[in-house]
Amino acid sequence: MSTKVSVITVVFNNKQFISQAIESVLAQSYANVEYIVIDGGSTDGTLDIIKSYGNKIEYVISEPDRGMYDALNKGIRFASGDIVGIVNSDDALYDPDVIADIVKEFENTSIECSYGNLIYVDRETATKTTRTWISKPFESGLFEKSWTPAHPTFYCRRELFEKYGYYRLDFKIAADVELMYRFLEKHRVRSLYIPRMMMRMRNAGISNSGISSTVIITSEMKRAIRENGGRFSLLKYLFFKGLKIKQFIQR
């Protein structure tokens, strides 16, 4: 039997872009995909769009939640796949072979998680690239240098969540970073960087919305690292964060 992949989309009042996210999952060439959509009780017509896909989406849950990370945890607990990945409601998988290429690496190696590259695109048309996020193989100490894998490209074996924990709801912005740090740095799970584009991500996500979010995420990065046994130097973190300006490319 082929490896089963559970893909989770969480959404709340995003009728403008939800179809593109859904269609990028449904267009995947890999067949054994369980698609789960967790809606937070949308009131703008989003749920009607989701339901219009009928049984092409295996599971739809619509009810109030405590935010994105609570919804992700709900989806993961509901998932039955060997591997779990996420497609945010603003985003779209880069091409139809993304999941097939991810599964190939999981089946041919002993990895427990993988991640790759993504591009940021303009929010309205998604046609212009505004930033390119090229990652690299994980090495201990990278998180302290303001490096993280691109979370929308992060795919893990489902049992990791059961073994090492889910997204923490006491983090406002950086629960994804805290989880990846916990998995990769604290517990040293076997990871693989797959050097290919995996996601088109629209600008203005929750962790990319200005100075205030930068202050919050820096504070939460400090807490995530220290609470998981690491060392955090604000000067080193900010220095390396400043170097990320080279990722912004006008095309």
- Listed by start position, the domains of the chain span 5-247
CB 22 within 8 A of CB 37: yes
Amino acid sitting at position 6: S
5-247: which CATH number, 3.40.50.80, 3.90.550.10, 3.40.1360.10, 3.30.110.60? Answer: 3.90.550.10
Distance CA 14, CA 12 (A): 6
Distance CA 177, CA 208 (A): 14
CA 157 → CA 40, 79, 107, 179, 183, distances in Å? Answer: 25, 11, 12, 14, 11
Distance CA 190, CA 135 (A): 16
CB 232 within 8 A of CB 222: yes
DSSP symbols for 50-89: HHTTGGGSSEEEE---SSHHHHHHHHHHH---SEEEE--T
Least confident of 24-28, 52-56, 238-242: 238-242
Looking at residues 17-41, what average pLDDT do you find?
98
Long-range contacts for 241-247 (Cβ within 8 Å, ≥24 apart)? Answer: 241/146, 244/146, 247/131, 247/132, 247/133, 247/134
pLDDT tier, 244 (very low <50, low <70, confident <90, very high otherwise): low
Q: What is the pLDDT of residues 169-226, one digit of tens each?
A: 999 999 999 999 999 999 999 999 999 999 999 986 444 455 677 788 889 989 999 9
Helix (H, G, I), strand (E, B) or coil at 97: coil
Distance CA 111, CA 208 (A): 30
Q: What is the pLDDT of residues 101-129, one digit of tens each?
A: 999 999 999 999 999 999 999 998 888 99
CA atoms within 13 A on the CB side of 135: 28
Distance CA 119, CA 71 (A): 24
Q: What is the pLDDT of residues 143-157, one digit of tens each?
A: 998 899 999 999 999
Least confident of 1-10, 89-98, 199-208, 219-228: 199-208
Distance CA 189, CA 186 (A): 8
CA 32 → CA 83, 92, 158, distances in Å? Answer: 11, 19, 15
**Strand partners of residue 131:** 120
pLDDT tier, 9 (very low <50, low <70, confident <90, very high otherwise): very high
